[in-house]
Amino acid sequence: MLKIKDLSVSIEGKEIIHDVNMTIKNGETHVLFGPNGAGKSTLLMAIMGFPKYRVTKGNISFKGKDITGLTMDERARMGIGMSFQRPPVVRGVTTRDMVAACLKGSGDGDAIDMLASKANLDEFLERDINYGFSGGEIKRSELMQLLAQKPELTLMDEPESGVDLVNIALIGELMNELLEKNCPIQYRKCMGLIITHTGHILDYVNARTGYVMCNGTIGCVGDPHEMLATIREKGYDECIKCYLGRVPF
């Protein structure tokens, strides 16, 4: 379980997220909506533990342990994984090297080949990671690495952006494998927190809880499909108005 309590996060002294609360139980996938600059990515980065994203208040606990003070590699080893929206190119480090690092010695070359085949990235294994990759290739590569890493909590920042309609089905399949969609819910352990702008990914993943984030706070919690319909119809302005109407000044 991931439990976020009264979390405030600052970047270079400026508070971006204020008093966020969130609980994701084992087997659940939650979705984050919100306009640009709402703080969605900041929340994911803070959960992953990027040093630049400083927790100034509250705490994050994962699997019953307070992880607020842990480094990102410690969090990764505890079972938190993240799909980067714009991952860096690391020259000389191949995609195969990255998948091998994610496997942590638990799989051999065949395991890497199988994962690449699944993500339709066979031709990319010997290339430098992310070097010259298209938007869709980056997304598939990120998910392939996560499949090797096998995190219990997967954080995904716009997994469908830059992906064409043919590839989005493959992205959906990979995400479902990560989130154990085929596993009966009572046995499902893996959790997901997904940022989406378009909501296309909702056609593929089994998300039951959605949030709308505005100005660094969570304004609304509910059924993600209903939320998406409202956002599509009325836009985020309506969400903000609704939220402001409920918050006393």
Asked if 137 contacts 124 with a C-beta cutoff of 8 angstroms, the reply is yes
Q: Which stretch binds other proteins (CB under 8 A): 84-92, 173-181, 201-209, 237-245?
A: 84-92
Q: Can you state the angle between helices 109-118 and 135-149, rounded to 10 degrees?
A: 140
76 binds other proteins (CB under 8 A): yes
105 binds other proteins (CB under 8 A): no
Q: Which is nearer to other proteins, 49 or 172 (CB)?
A: 49
Q: Which is nearer to other proteins, 27 or 81 (CB)?
A: 81
User: How far apart are CB 107 and other proteins at their closest, in Å?
Assistant: 14
Q: Which is nearer to other proteins, 82 or 239 (CB)?
A: 82
- For the chain, give the secondary structure using H, E and C: CEEEEEEEEEECCEEEEEEEEEEECCCCEEEEECCCCCCHHHHHHHHHCCCCEEEEEEEEEECCEECCCCCHHHHHHHCEEEECCCCCCEEEEEHHHHHHHHHCCCCCHHHHHHHHHHCCCHHHCCCEECCCCCHHHHHHHHHHHHHHHCCCEEEEECCCCCCCHHHHHHHHHHHHHHCCCCCCCCCCCCEEEEECCCCHHHHCCCCCEEEEEECCEEEEEECHHHHHHHHHHHHHHHHHHHHHHHCCC
91 binds other proteins (CB under 8 A): yes
User: How far apart are CB 223 and other proteins at their closest, in Å?
Assistant: 31
Q: How far apart are CA 163 and CA 132, in angstroms?
A: 15
Q: Which stretch binds other proteins (CB under 8 A): 18-26, 77-85, 109-117, 185-193?
A: 77-85
C-alpha 145: how far from its chain's center? Answer: 13
Of residues 31 through 60, those in contact with other proteins by CB under 8 A are 48, 50-51
21 binds other proteins (CB under 8 A): no
Question: Contacting other proteins (CB under 8 A), which of 128, 152, 173, 177?
Answer: 128
191 binds other proteins (CB under 8 A): no
192 binds other proteins (CB under 8 A): no
97 binds other proteins (CB under 8 A): yes
Question: Contacting other proteins (CB under 8 A), which of 77, 189, 232, 234?
Answer: 77
Residue written as token pair 């952006």: 161
- Write the interaction track for other proteins spanning residues 139-168; mark x where CB under 8 A is met and - where it is not: ------x---x-------------------
Which residues here bind other proteins, judged by CB under 8 A? 48, 50-51, 71-73, 76-77, 81-82, 84, 87-88, 90-93, 97-98, 101-102, 104, 128, 145, 149
